[in-house]
Structure 1
Amino acid sequence: MYALQKTKQPMTFLTESVMDFNAVNFWLQKLNPLWSSNQSLGKIVHKEMASDDMLSLTLKVNRHFKFGQAGQHHPVFIDVKGVRYERTYSLTKRDNQHVLLNVKKVDTGKVSTWLADSAKIGEIIEFGAPFGDMTLPQQNQPLVLVAAGSGITPMLSLLEALSASAQMKAQPVQLLYWVKHHQDAAFKARFEKLAELHSNFSFKIFYTQDIEADSRLNDSHLSLILNLVESTVYACGPSGFVAKAEELFSQSAHSFLNEAFSMSVVANDDIGFVNVTLTQSNKVLSIPKGQSILASLEQQNIKPTYGCRMGICNKCVCKKVEGSTKNLVNGAQNSEPGNVLKICVNSAQTDLVIDL
């Protein structure tokens, strides 16, 4: 028996056979900037400040946009003064056509500054496919969300998904959120509304640099959690915060998931240089200890593939043939040959050979 091959639609055949995607997209976007034959695009329709240093952008997305799961991240591609940048953000689904993109403005950040100061209503932004493992569990169980700074953004996504699916009626959810000052707390009004809507949800915000300062995350906060042994704990924030959360919760909670949103300086006294051999390009370079391998290679005009620069998306992963490395997020050292290496969050401790 012969299988019948499904024929392509006339427009699909035409676009693939006669015109390239770039040309098709150019003319489609003359009619509507969100139209595209293959691109995942969003148009800014609203801008507001979620806190003193966090901007919230509401975007209308096209049919190619992949929402992914709550808590995941999306690559975001931005053109600033003719240079294309890729950044990674956690998005919150508003409805089937809109997402919320929250950006913490960084003084030296080219993309965050452009989004905050220059991006206008109607601006078009391109997205990549979602990724990340910090998603909701399949089973109903108590959840504890622990966040600091911009680490609150994936937590908002998780909470909105829980609220929309009515899961909060079946399981207790606690949010513990650390910021420096009252004006730095984002989405407080939304959390208050969720607490009104769902008796199973509670939250507490800690202000570590106000006049009557709260303490940073420590073991005294364990007493605030109702049923830690049966809870899944999510932690997101700077790497130092996440490392502390892992120390507190990884052994005592039912399960523990974490992501570091930004790199903190790991206490170390690494000084000096080591040699790194790149097997694919047959190059030997001298790079400093205590700095990410990715940043060190970039300083010598080597341009490895990368994405989030936070050890989440795995775009920079390569094979380590030999040598010792240190994880800049948690300080863990690894000397095993043949391991997969995330060069954006690891530094070289000894001479190193990597498949790059």
Structure 2
Amino acid sequence: MSTVPRIAARRHAASPRRWVSEELFDFWGTRLHPLWTLRRPLARLASRTAESADAVTLVLKPNRHFRGLLPGQHVTLGVEVDGRRLSRSYSPTVLADGRLAITVKAIAGGAVSQHLAHAAVTGEVFELGQAFGEMTLPAASAERLLLLAAGSGITPMRALLRQLDGAGMQGKVDLVYWARRREELCFAEELAAMAERHPSFDLHIALTRDPAAPASRVDAFAFDALGDLSTACTLVCGPGGFVDAAQARLQGQVASLQSEAFTPPVLPEVETGTVQVELRRSGRTLSLPRGTSLLQALEAEGLRPASGCRMGICNTCVCGKVSGVTRHTLTGEHAAEPATQVKLCVNSASTDLILEL
């Protein structure tokens, strides 16, 4: 045996994975240092600052197990609130020192957003999922970029614009940013400074409920004023209704359109009543409402299935469906195939189901 294999073998034998369980290592490791784990990514809250009237920016320091992300991608943050482990997805901006800036809008009744906006203290440690999502810049340089953001949808757009800023903002870029009122705008000064630095970047603010400005919704926005959009690579992020309206408005007018919605759209003719859902692994049978996502319905029963983005992207909540018919809450399509996988966050029960939970 050569020297190199011998050294590798000794290192493998000395690895903590060989003589201690991951749970035990993490238990004692995090007591020596809050971010010391064997493999599990964690992040520690370094600072929290107000970003707008209803949003805060948290700066997080991840441990070495976080593999990084591309601008525009999401991560899942696991937060403990009142003794319960809850998770939500956010689109971070990577800072120069490797820390992550996550902007959170405080939502009335939102357990996680309220905790992060008001209660989380410096030093608090969160579970941190690896990055996911396709809201990234095209691999090839686009002749024209059109970015549309509403509400919290500005966070991935900010990350993309920082990437473009660092590369010199090659090509024409337009950002149209919708908010209800001016005081709810996030990163307004940073975005304005970018527009000042780069003549090829234009920032357009559209306010929907500001008494000092005419209402400007996406379905009535004057896109013609932006010039020829036929070559524009278009990225859209915001609430489900906003994304639907943007797609309908720009259909056939742009070269490509990619979107992410962080709230599901409201579908007509929502199914009503209840069905029986058998959870095969736990041996329980529950009466759950039709028309409500399986994830929300199970959580209302006190269960805590694994979940992440809650919008059908990250696959954290995927589980086996043995039998029954589900309805996709975003498209309205039904799926009746047995022995398949189902995303709990974007599917509701149409008939009695058997799930591998």
TM-score (norm 2): 0.86
Per-residue CA deviation, residues 61-84 of structure 1 (Å, 9 max, x unaligned), is 332222211111111122234322
Corresponding position: 1:147 with 2:118: no
Structure 1 window deviating more from structure 2 (13-22 vs 195-204): it is 13-22
**Structure 2 unaligned runs (5+)?**
none
Q: Pick from 159, 162, 186: which aligns with 2:161?
A: 159
Q: Per-residue deviation at 1:320?
A: 6.1
Shift in CA distance, 9/156, structure 1 to aligned 2, threshold 3 Å: farther
Task: Give the AA of the match of 2:165.
Answer: S
Q: Per-residue deviation at 1:94?
A: 1.0
Task: Give the AA of the match of 2:254.
Answer: A
Q: Is the contact made by 2:267 and 2:332 (CA closer than 8 Å) also made in structure 1?
A: no
Match of 1:289 in 2: 290
Shift in CA distance, 63/294, structure 1 to aligned 2, threshold 3 Å: closer
Matched ranges for 1:265-344 at <5 A = 265-276=266-277, 286-300=287-301, 304-318=305-319, 325-329=326-330, 331-335=331-335, 337=337, 341-344=342-345
Distance 2:162 2:223 in 1: 25
Shift in CA distance, 336/235, structure 1 to aligned 2, threshold 3 Å: farther
**Structure 1 unaligned runs (5+)?**
none
Match of 1:116 in 2: 117
Q: Per-residue deviation at 1:104?
A: 0.9
Corresponding position: 1:84 with 2:99: no
| Number of equivalent positions | 353
Q: Is the contact made by 1:274 and 1:348 (CA closer than 8 Å) also made in structure 2?
A: yes
Q: Is the contact made by 2:276 and 2:288 (CA closer than 8 Å) also made in structure 1?
A: yes
Shift in CA distance, 12/148, structure 1 to aligned 2, threshold 3 Å: farther
Q: Per-residue deviation at 1:22?
A: 4.1
Distance 1:341 1:24 in 2: 33
Shift in CA distance, 46/23, structure 1 to aligned 2, threshold 3 Å: same
Distance 1:80 1:342 in 2: 24
Match of 1:190 in 2: 190
Shift in CA distance, 218/322, structure 1 to aligned 2, threshold 3 Å: farther
Match of 1:181 in 2: 181
CA RMSD of aligned residues (A): 3.1
Distance 2:131 2:41 in 1: 11
Structure 1 window deviating more from structure 2 (277-286 vs 7-16): it is 277-286
SS at match of 1:162: helix
Distance 1:315 1:36 in 2: 21
Q: Per-residue deviation at 1:236?
A: 1.1
SS at match of 1:7: helix
Match of 1:227 in 2: 228
Q: Is the contact made by 1:324 and 1:333 (CA closer than 8 Å) also made in structure 2?
A: no
Q: Per-residue deviation at 1:205?
A: 1.4
Q: Is the contact made by 2:277 and 2:286 (CA closer than 8 Å) also made in structure 1?
A: yes
Q: Is the contact made by 2:104 and 2:113 (CA closer than 8 Å) also made in structure 1?
A: yes
Q: Per-residue deviation at 1:328?
A: 2.9
Q: Per-residue deviation at 1:214?
A: 1.8
Q: Is the contact made by 1:307 and 1:313 (CA closer than 8 Å) also made in structure 2?
A: yes
Task: Give the AA of the match of 1:56.
Answer: T
Match of 2:206 in 1: 206
Q: Per-residue deviation at 1:302?
A: 5.6
Distance 1:252 1:321 in 2: 43
TM-score (norm 1): 0.86
Shift in CA distance, 6/202, structure 1 to aligned 2, threshold 3 Å: farther
